[in-house]
Chain A
Amino acid sequence: MIKSTFLKAVAATALSVSTWASAHAVDLQFYFPVAVGGKAADTIQALTDEYVAANPDVKIDAVYAGSYQDTVAKAITASRGGNPPQLSVILSVDMFTLIDEDLIQPFDNYLTSDEDKAWVEGFYPAFMENSQTGGKTYGIPFQRSTPVLYWNKEAFKEAGLDPEVAPATWDEMVEFGKKLTKKDADGKVSQWGVRIPSSGFPYWLFQGLAIENGATLANAEGNKTNFDDPKVVEALQYLVDLSTKHEVMAPGIIEWGATPKAFFEGQTAMMWTSTGNLTNVRDNAPFDFGVAMLPSKATRGAPTGGGNFYLFKGASDEQNKAAVEFVQWITAPAQSAKWTIATGYVAPRAETWESETMKAYTADFAPALIARDQLEFAKAELSTYQNQRVTGIFNDALASVITGKKDAATALKEAQAQADGILSEYR
């Protein structure tokens, strides 16, 4: 008798404690991907822990969800299964797909005060191109990047070039590349001039070339592509010519992941890759290196890249509010600076660059500023409805041209026809 009363009392206490806890703490689940080496996952975890420690009424479960690809797959699957995360970092280019799947909601509903609206204005416009559509803000820039050119100063010196000057134009890149490519008597290359990786998602770096040549790959509504624009064809021809005509780049598909390593090993004197690799290169390059904006043709140019915060549907009002507050906190200067310094991702707000921490960092390490300065010329990364499929078609076309199976004009024309077939229903 006494025992059972005791048990009842325990059960009642446990019950009330748990209801109390759920009434007072907001639970948030937050998916994040990691796409670059280094300390990205640890940093996100540490920042989340810091927030939870300071805000005991919010519980955030930060879930590392694999690559960008895995993360969007997990988020969509979980949402379809009726168990969506409240918040997730997903590629900015997946915005139209997520809208089409009816999984995300605009941040505007929770950013109503003037202060909040000013806060949205504080992000670099180049990053917002991929984050807003139809006058609504669906993505808040977080781990955003842009490709830049890294060069090996020692290799430049050895080739008789000024080690402090990077190629500023397409022609210069070829010219420098020819001086930098080292061949032995049998034609075996021990050092290539430049390396523009093309495995997996060749469209991204290629888009840099296309923008520099004055082309826009897709419209802002995400329902029309311009793959067969003569300027795009010309840009692709230039990319192919680097290997076939000028012989300053290795032929065939070039592996993305092995690119920094190839740079460290002296296999290539210049490489194009994400600023997300900046800290990795800084820590591991055994020589002096420089970072420059991508060379220009008609103009300077680069795509933006990387991930945004998305607010998923299906959460309570309270959860949404807490999620938005967390997003505002983690993109604030102090946190954003930590994140940028740990990874090399571009801090998406001007005020972060004004902070003392960032100023001290950039004073010591000027290359970090290049990506920010390049934002002035940057355009939205290729993004459409059914984005993965459309970019998939474009990637296949690029790969077939890079490997010499098709010529640039034909492949791009075919890709455009296929993309039109998919996107026509969204016009």
Chain B
Amino acid sequence: MRVTFKRDWIHGWLLLLPAMVFLFAFTHIPAVTTFINSFYSTPRGRKPAKFIGLENYERFWDDPVFWKVMFNNLWFALGTIPLSIALSIAMALWVNDKLAGRSLVRMAYFTPTVLPLIAVANIWLFFYTPGFGLFDQVFGALFGWSSTNWLGDPATALNAVIVVTVWKEAGFFMIFYLAALQAIPVSLVEAARIEGASRWTIFWRITFPLLMPTTLFVSINAVINSFRLVDHIFILTDGGPDNASSLLLFYIYEVAFRFWETGYAATLTVALLVLLSALAIGQFFFFDRKVHYK
């Protein structure tokens, strides 16, 4: 009896081991080291890191760029999350219906997801280019607008980045909604139709509530993405002008790998980690009550 118990125990740990090794090596240990490093100064050449307590934290509290990128990130999240979710639901509903060339439309909506973000950013860079860029040419020909410097003006730079992100993300979320839509029993909709419910009532009272688990999943992903997706910023604006389109993760990269202030970058990373965990936990508690699981 005892021997089998022990063997089960070893067996269990062995099964866990591969995942655990990777999880520890790439997630937990780096997170803990980051936390520890955030209390040390940046080592430079012959000057080793020394313990400086909360100095890095005081610094980030007073860092105007940090607050600017935080605010930018908030705006970026507000701009991308609701819009990409709404768009993805609309697209999913559209391609879930019987329509000519349905697979083609589905594929078209999904294409942005397949493309690498850097390549996408380069294409959009051309779209946005003042003068001979696509937008300027189209808007100039249609409405006679004069040339607009979308990426070079602090007022529009971040919004221009948001548009690219939504375009990139919506197709990916659509796939989840499409799968969820196909899992909703047709009988529910048919019953509602017999009762004389309008299309809007059917969507709002039946489809949307049944999509809630997907919405929870998608929204958590969207929130994480809004802090995680910065690749296109390198190509489109490089955070400029004057940090107008810089996001938190981009700023962390800049501090760590351009300015080589790894100590301070560790502190900023801790801030990001705290923020992300708070958001994820909050979302689970807040949404969980509203989500209908089968």
Q: Footprint of B on A, CB under 8 Å?
A: 69, 73, 76-77, 97, 99-103, 186-189, 198-200, 250-255, 257-258, 261-262, 265, 267, 386, 388-389, 392, 395-397, 399-400, 402-403, 405
> With A186-B144, A250-B149, A389-B261 as given contacts, are A255 and B129 in contact (CB-CB < 8 Å)?
yes
Q: Which of A76, A99, A187, A254 contacts B152 (CB 8 A)?
A: A254
Residues of B with C-beta under 8 A to A267:
131-132
Give the CA-CA distance A262 to B151 in the complex, in Å.
16
B235's nearest neighbour on chain A, judged by CB, is A257
Any chain A CB within 8 A of the CB of B45? yes
Distance in Å: Cβ of A163 to nearest Cβ of chain B: 23
Q: Is the CB of A102 within 8 A of B46?
A: yes
Q: List 15 A-B contacts (CB under 8 A).
A: A97-B260, A99-B45, A102-B44, A103-B45, A199-B238, A250-B130, A250-B131, A258-B129, A261-B129, A261-B132, A265-B132, A395-B240, A399-B241, A403-B152, A403-B244
Q: Is the CB of B146 within 8 A of A186?
A: yes
Give the CA-CA distance A122 to B260 in the complex, in Å.
34
Give the CA-CA distance A403 to B257 in the complex, in Å.
27
Q: Is the CB of B131 within 8 A of A265?
A: yes
Give the CA-CA distance A103 to B46 in the complex, in Å.
10
Q: Which of A100, A389, A400 contacts B241 (CB 8 A)?
A: A400
Any chain A CB within 8 A of the CB of B225? no
How many A-B residue contacts, CB cutoff 8 Å?
Answer: 98
Q: Which of A262, A386, A392 contacts B131 (CB 8 A)?
A: A262
Q: Is the CB of B259 within 8 A of A188?
A: no
Distance in Å: Cβ of B130 to nearest Cβ of chain A: 6
Give the CA-CA distance A99 to B153 in the complex, in Å.
37
Distance in Å: Cβ of B268 to nearest Cβ of chain A: 14
When each residue 205-249 of chain B gets 1 if its CB lies under 8 Å from chain A and 0 otherwise, what string results? 000000000000000000000000000000001101111100000
> With A101-B260, A188-B147 as given contacts, are A399 and B132 in contact (CB-CB < 8 Å)?
no
B148's nearest neighbour on chain A, judged by CB, is A252
| Besides A253-B153, A261-B129, 16 other A-B contacts (C-beta < 8 A) | A101-B45, A188-B140, A199-B151, A252-B153, A253-B241, A255-B129, A258-B129, A262-B131, A262-B132, A267-B132, A388-B259, A395-B240, A396-B240, A400-B241, A402-B241, A403-B152
> With A252-B152, A403-B154 as given contacts, are A388 and B258 in contact (CB-CB < 8 Å)?
yes
Any chain A CB within 8 A of the CB of B55? no
Q: Is the CB of B258 within 8 A of A69?
A: yes
Q: Is the CB of B132 within 8 A of A253?
A: no
A98's nearest neighbour on chain B, judged by CB, is B45
Q: Which of A100, A101, A253, A397 contacts B149 (CB 8 A)?
A: A253
Residues of B with C-beta under 8 A to A69:
258
Residues of A with C-beta under 8 A to B140:
188
> With A262-B132, A396-B242 as given contacts, are A253 and B259 in contact (CB-CB < 8 Å)?
no
Q: Is the CB of A200 within 8 A of B241?
A: no
Residues of A with C-beta under 8 A to B260:
76, 97, 101, 386, 388
A385's nearest neighbour on chain B, judged by CB, is B44
A411's nearest neighbour on chain B, judged by CB, is B242
> With A389-B259, A403-B154 as given contacts, are A250 and B129 in contact (CB-CB < 8 Å)?
no
Give the CA-CA distance A69 to B234 in the complex, in Å.
11
Distance in Å: Cβ of B132 to nearest Cβ of chain A: 5
Considering residues B65, B125, B154, which has the most beta carbons from chain A within 10 angstroms of its beta carbon?
A: B154
Residues of B with C-beta under 8 A to A188:
140, 144, 146-147
Residues of A with C-beta under 8 A to B44:
100-102
A192's nearest neighbour on chain B, judged by CB, is B131
Give the CA-CA distance A131 to B243 in the complex, in Å.
31
Give the CA-CA distance A56 to B274 in the complex, in Å.
56
Residues of B with C-beta under 8 A to A392:
254, 258-259
Distance in Å: Cβ of A143 to nearest Cβ of chain B: 20
Give the CA-CA distance A191 to B278 in the complex, in Å.
52
Residues of A with C-beta under 8 A to B237:
199
Residues of A with C-beta under 8 A to B244:
403
Q: Which of B121-147 contact A (CB under 8 A)?
A: 125, 129-132, 140, 144, 146-147
Give the CA-CA distance A405 to B152 in the complex, in Å.
13
Q: Is the CB of B152 within 8 A of A189?
A: no
Give the CA-CA distance A99 to B45 in the complex, in Å.
8
Residues of B with C-beta under 8 A to A255:
125, 129-130, 151-152
> With A76-B260, A100-B44 as given contacts, are A405 and B154 in contact (CB-CB < 8 Å)?
yes
Give the CA-CA distance A199 to B153 in the complex, in Å.
11
Residues of B with C-beta under 8 A to A101:
44-45, 260
Give the CA-CA distance A101 to B46 in the complex, in Å.
7
Residues of A with C-beta under 8 A to B125:
255, 257-258
Q: Is the CB of A199 within 8 A of B240?
A: yes
Give the CA-CA distance A186 to B243 in the complex, in Å.
33
Q: Which of B146-178 contact A (CB under 8 A)?
A: 146-147, 149, 151-154
Residues of A with C-beta under 8 A to B144:
186, 188
Q: Which 3 A-B pairs have the closest CB atoms?
A: A102-B45, A253-B152, A252-B152
Distance in Å: Cβ of A215 to nearest Cβ of chain B: 22
Residues of B with C-beta under 8 A to A253:
149, 151-153, 240-241
A389's nearest neighbour on chain B, judged by CB, is B259
Give the CA-CA distance A388 to B239 in the complex, in Å.
14
A191's nearest neighbour on chain B, judged by CB, is B131
> With A252-B152, A267-B131, A267-B132 as given contacts, are A189 and B146 in contact (CB-CB < 8 Å)?
yes
Residues of B with C-beta under 8 A to A189:
146-147
Q: Is the CB of A399 within 8 A of B240?
A: yes
Q: Is the CB of B146 within 8 A of A187?
A: yes
Give the CA-CA distance A99 to B46 in the complex, in Å.
10
